[in-house]
Structure 1
């Protein structure tokens, strides 16, 4: 894999979290008396000042619901969210103040922008909602310039249909930046863009972190994006984080079979891709034991049985991983291997990737 414009720096691991989820749960009522769907089923996650965390996983694993809960758009059914050391309150006034400091960047700029509003109005909307008392024109121009649209005055009176896809995404980012937030949550920020533009937007996010000290949670199914932009990665499956750690550590030496399967399908991955059987379980009927065991290639191959953990995989829950920055994995087999490093197994070798530039 190759980086975009620059390699992200590493924030001080000792810094207290800016945003934190603690034992977070979000469940939705089932239809006609069906069990509640546990979209987020116990998550601890910390994001520190100046840190970029990538939240990765397949569609339906709960990534977007977790992001919405962190933004206060979905109230949790259990656990709590804290920001800058204080619990998130859900009154209208508290959420309005919170959203000035934490902004959302959506994946589809065409759907995010009102086609009847000019670029100026789109970016100024946040200032007007929050009763900005300064020079609105200067603030809009500064936000557009920071987002890479220069000279900004040239874009003030344009409409979204007059812009390219990359320019529209920069307008969305400018709309988030205009309030000078401390953290942005970017939900698949480059998924709808051409490959030629993706690198530019990722380089922009890295530059904003360097220049403004901005923190970010980047929600994505693209492990290549996580490699290029993140300091730390959290892999999510069926409502829970199953592996987390520094991006180089997780993506070059994945320990959880699910992470290994995700990485195996990348074009540059060595060996044959791992094809998972079946569909992810219904979140209203989360299986006992490891929630991945029904699709796990290690359990199916007999490796877990040879390591003596097959029954644990099927029956014993692994609990919630800590939100701290150290490497962690929710896998009986991976933990058994770690506790017996001298033993040789016939397990698949850990994926080797080229060094991060």
Structure 2
């Protein structure tokens, strides 16, 4: 059995909390996360809106300071001083969901891509670096796009400019927050193919934040399913998405167009990070508990009173579910 490569980015015991307003309870947006991303690996972080995945991504980028826990990059603890974060963000770049909102409408494509070089004061020829980044992002010949403005481009071209702006600094890790959510279906495949090609050609690691399990299937090596601030299932993408163990993952997959059987409609209130229940955090919406299946399996009491342990960060599959764990070990 081969030993997995050391993590490029790792989180251990990560918590991010925000104070409530007017005496409201503290919101535990990230509530104990262990996560590794290795060089050249693409990890998809999936879950509903409000589950904490964007806060987790922002914390890994150094944009939100953790309440507790640790983040390490290339073996070193993340330093939140301004100087250290500037150096860190050259190696770890963010690609946002909405390219129209990411690009200054008054800046040309050249200025948008060159901005990172100017901020970080890199050596070398700026024009050559901008041209190379645009070319890698699929905008060829790059010089044809230098003097264009965002409104003169299609949605797919704008997203490629955003990706080129990240690539120009030659990062080791991309964090992409819903990178194709705002694009037409005809363009989504092109951008996904581009991200896959960048992994192959440049050895880039990626964290893809998405609510779309179909996207995760097409692009990721591993998937981490997040619910109410915590990763509840993780493992190789083929294993998790073809044989999901956690009832939440099963429900997410059941509504995909090609999913077998009837969709599982989750009842109850949407997750609220200021009111995390005792026991399993999914229990109020869990169809296994509601149907009596957890009672028949003898785990209903644990579901209501015992918080499943935080999943480890390793590459092996894991599930934080009292009902699923006996079935996995058996």
Find the counterpart in structure 2 of residue 15 from structure 1.
Answer: 5
Deviation at 1:329, TM superposition (A): 0.1
SS at match of 1:33: coil
Larger deviation: 47-56 or 33-42? 33-42
CA distance in 2, matches of 1:115, 1:338: 52
1:69 aligns with 2:59: yes
Find the counterpart in structure 2 of residue 127 from structure 1.
Answer: 117
Find the counterpart in structure 1 of residue 182 from structure 2.
Answer: 192
**Matching of residues 263-342 of structure 1 within 5 Å:** 263-340=253-330
1:149 aligns with 2:148: no
Is the 1:307–1:336 contact (alpha carbons within 8 Å) kept by the matching residues of 2?
A: no
CA distance in 1, matches of 2:230, 2:3: 23
Question: What is the aligned-residue RMSD (CA, Å)?
Answer: 0.8
1:241 aligns with 2:242: no
Deviation at 1:154, TM superposition (A): 0.2
SS at match of 2:323: helix
Structure 1 stretches (4+) deviating beyond 6 angstroms?
Answer: none
For residues 146-189 of structure 1, the C-alpha deviation after alignment (integer angstroms, 9 at most, x for no partner) is 00000000000000000000000000000000000000000000
SS at match of 1:250: helix
CA distance in 2, matches of 1:146, 1:337: 46
**TM-score, normalising length from structure 1?**
0.91
Find the counterpart in structure 2 of residue 38 from structure 1.
Answer: 28
The total of aligned residue pairs comes to: 329
Unaligned runs of 5+ in 1: 1-11, 341-357
**TM-score, normalising length from structure 2?**
0.99
Unaligned runs of 5+ in 2: none
Deviation at 1:13, TM superposition (A): 6.1
Is the 1:290–1:313 contact (alpha carbons within 8 Å) kept by the matching residues of 2?
A: yes
1:177 aligns with 2:170: no
Deviation at 1:339, TM superposition (A): 3.6
For residues 285-332 of structure 1, the C-alpha deviation after alignment (integer angstroms, 9 at most, x for no partner) is 110111000100000111100000000000001121001110000000
1:56 aligns with 2:55: no
CA distance in 1, matches of 2:304, 2:123: 59
Deviation at 1:338, TM superposition (A): 2.5
CA distance in 2, matches of 1:13, 1:58: 33
Pairing partner for 2:191 from 201, 204, 217: 201
SS at match of 2:147: coil
1:108 aligns with 2:98: yes
Deviation at 1:20, TM superposition (A): 0.5
SS at match of 1:69: helix
SS at match of 1:32: coil
Pairing partner for 1:88 from 78, 97, 114: 78
For residues 239-285 of structure 1, the C-alpha deviation after alignment (integer angstroms, 9 at most, x for no partner) is 00000000000000000000000000001001100000012232111
CA distance in 2, matches of 1:177, 1:104: 10
Is the 1:238–1:280 contact (alpha carbons within 8 Å) kept by the matching residues of 2?
A: no
CA distance in 1, matches of 2:118, 2:197: 27
